[in-house]
Amino acid sequence: MCGACGSGRAAAPWEDVLAGAGPAQRAARAGAAGRLLTGRRLRVTPWRGGYLLTTATGAARPVASLDELWAAVGRDGVPPGEQRWARAPAPAGWDLQAATVWISAAARAGTLTAAALPDGVVEFRDGGAAHVAPSTGPEVGVLGPEPEAALADLLHFATQG
């Protein structure tokens, strides 16, 4: 059990490592997740140690990470085909929290298997487990079967606030 958050996990979720673990960052990610869930009658709010997923009937379920959120929502992944990288400079004023949420949802859906952010690279492997490696550079990138389309979607989502 994690003494800091009571979540039962010893390691921080990848999104906290790459995009910040503070209340403001978690609230921004919850808002971005809500944008992705528009039309599904689900609400995501920040919660200590993670997020709270609430249905239209008021049933609420705490989840500790974005990966657990997408598993609870039911976005099943598709086995990836041939993988390629697409990269672009990080746009000025882009929303790192929205990008983090989009990356998590895309990984769960099988759209990508890795993503590069200015502060690190996250790889999704072993059935969706995320691994973070440090990196430097102003680029954003995705590794997947259709990386150009995925990167365009990511950059669009992360800049529309």
Segment 88-97, tens digit of pLDDT: 999 999 999 9
| 154 and 117 belong to one structural domain | yes
Give the confidence band of 136 by pLDDT, cuts at 50, 70, 90.
confident
- The predicted-structure confidence for 72-126, as pLDDT tens digits, reads as follows 887 444 444 578 899 999 999 999 999 999 999 999 888 999 999 998 999 997 6
Rounded to the nearest 10 degrees, how much is the dihedral formed by the CA atoms of 55, 159, 11, 67?
Answer: 40
Confirm if 142 and 150 have CB atoms less than 8 A apart.
yes
Mean pLDDT estimate for the chain: 87
**What proportion of the chain, given as a percentage, has pLDDT over 70?**
88
Do the domain assignments include residue 7? no
Burial class (CB in 10 A: 0-12, 13-18, 19+), 85: middle
| 64 and 98 belong to one structural domain | no
Tokens of 151: 């990167």
Site of tokens 């993503």:
115
Query: 148 is in which domain, residue-wise?
Result: 84-159
| 61 and 122 belong to one structural domain | no
| 68 and 111 belong to one structural domain | no
| 88 and 155 belong to one structural domain | yes
Structural domain count of the chain: 2
